[in-house]
Structure 1
Amino acid sequence: MAKLLLAEDDQAISMLERDYLEMEGYEITAVDNGQAAITEALKGEYDLILLDLMLPGCNGYDVCRLIRDKIDIPILMVTARTESVDKVRGLGLGADDYIAKPFDPAELVARVKSHLARYARLTGGQEEQEALTVGDLRILPQSWKVFKGEREVKMPNREFALLKFLAEHPNVVFSKEKLFEAIWGCDYLGDSATVTVHIGRIRDKVEDDPAHPTLIETVWGAGYRLNRQ
């Protein structure tokens, strides 16, 4: 049974989300403020987090920023703020999806199921594989780890999956749309701008000079290419 952390300060919405998710067999822990969300999330006992943006004490952005590099489970932001800049900021901090209020409870359940299933496919059931090596970068598909030199680089699941996909197809240019389809899938209700955000986060972690990337190159008008000699 998957365990979900629900961070929502509106009791009516929290009860609605909880009722629908529990009917699907999920075990729910609900909190109503940002600090409690951080404390619970870092226990490492959850499979997915539903995170309201406007939490008291510590907002959803800050919660996501503080926990994202410590846990790699899916984080779904649930919020009434739907401006593009808010979505990009949330994704840039490591959120996996963005659900706007008011929402259809059936859609919420479907999104949760989709992310849990995709995360399970990404992290489980793989046979031991050799490391993918690109320069001083080593990607370990089985253990879900990335090393730059001797230093481990923490990556959430979508960043890891995107880097791994590019490393498995070196020197090939992929459009943002192709990468979005390969990593997020057709059932994800987002757009290819998500790829740009995640590429930027990966570059910050693996490039020697993120402002002038050489590992993951932008091919203007075409997409992105991971360069390997």
Structure 2
Amino acid sequence: MAKILVVDDDADMRNLVYTALTRDGHQVDREENSTQLSPACCRQYDLLLLDVMMPGEDGFSLCRRIRREVDCPILFLTAKTEETALVQGFGLGADDYIKKPFSLAELRARVNAHLRREMRQPIHTLHRGGVCFDLQAKTASVKDQPLSFTKGEYAICEYLALHAGQVFTKELLYEAVFGFDAEGNASAIAEHIKNIRAKLKIRDLNPIETVWGVGYKWQKENLI
């Protein structure tokens, strides 16, 4: 059983979520106003469900305010489907979106999937395309020889490798790695990728593929 908080100004939506998730044995608390929620309060929960569109402090603002101190999964309940909204949410640290209207089956499946993921044993190393990532130390190596990545270069490589085979635009990659509020712009990604490729080329590796007109991906065929 997990402890879940749903924050939504719509009473019917709060009650719907409550009914669906309590059927799975979860303890569900309901809140209509996020302004009184502190990071310490949110840390009590195993998962947060936040409505995006709320009067006063919306779900994006709440996520921004608490994310550095709250590491449980945060899922947005939203009617917004535009890419810009998705970019903003993921840049703030969201783990997933559930688009309104949604079925109770989808809600329960998404929530339980994230809870199961949190219960797994943490993975400390990741091998992708000949590169070994130490996810705790935030370092990368090839055949036990360290790669001289900057902090930003490492973060880009780790994110792409963790999502191998998926294509990310420069904008999505920038927001995911550096955050929505980071200074700079997405054009810096191209320069970072250029530097990363130069360092990997020395080791005869080229796992990052450019998908012309779209963005970048870590080649799926390099999964090892």
Rate the CA distance shift 1:199–1:31 in 2: closer, same or farther, 3 A.
same
The gaps in structure 2 that reach 5 residues or longer are 126-133, 148-153, 183-187, 198-207, 211-215, 220-224
Partner of 2:91: 92
* CA drift at 1:13: 1.1
Kept after mapping to 1: 8 A contact 2:161/2:218: no
CA-to-aligned-CA distance 1:178-199 (integer Å, 9 cap, x gap): 63269xxxxxxxx643972423
CA-to-aligned-CA distance 1:99-146 (integer Å, 9 cap, x gap): 1100011101100011111122154xx7xx79xxxxxxxx674xxxx6
Kept after mapping to 1: 8 A contact 2:167/2:217: no
TM-score for the superposition, normalised by structure 1: 0.62
Partner of 2:163: 180
Kept after mapping to 1: 8 A contact 2:159/2:177: no
Aligned residues: 177
Secondary structure (helix, strand or coil) at the match of 2:29 reads strand
Partner of 1:20: 20
Partner of 1:161: none
Rate the CA distance shift 1:181–1:42 in 2: closer, same or farther, 3 A.
farther
Kept after mapping to 2: 8 A contact 1:9/1:33: yes
In 1, Cα distance between equivalents of 2:196 and 2:49: 33
The gaps in structure 1 that reach 5 residues or longer are 131-138, 147-163, 183-190, 205-209
Kept after mapping to 1: 8 A contact 2:6/2:14: yes
Kept after mapping to 2: 8 A contact 1:6/1:31: yes
Partner of 2:196: 217
Partner of 1:3: 3
Partner of 2:178: 200
* CA drift at 1:42: 3.7
Kept after mapping to 1: 8 A contact 2:49/2:76: yes
Q: Is the radius of gyration larger for structure 1 or structure 2?
A: 2
In 2, Cα distance between equivalents of 1:168 and 1:117: 30
1:74 partner letter: P
Kept after mapping to 1: 8 A contact 2:164/2:218: no
Secondary structure (helix, strand or coil) at the match of 2:69 reads coil
Kept after mapping to 1: 8 A contact 2:52/2:76: yes
Partner of 2:34: 34
* CA drift at 1:200: 3.4
Partner of 1:133: none
Q: State the superposition RMSD in angstroms.
A: 3.9
In 1, Cα distance between equivalents of 2:176 and 2:65: 17
Partner of 2:70: 71
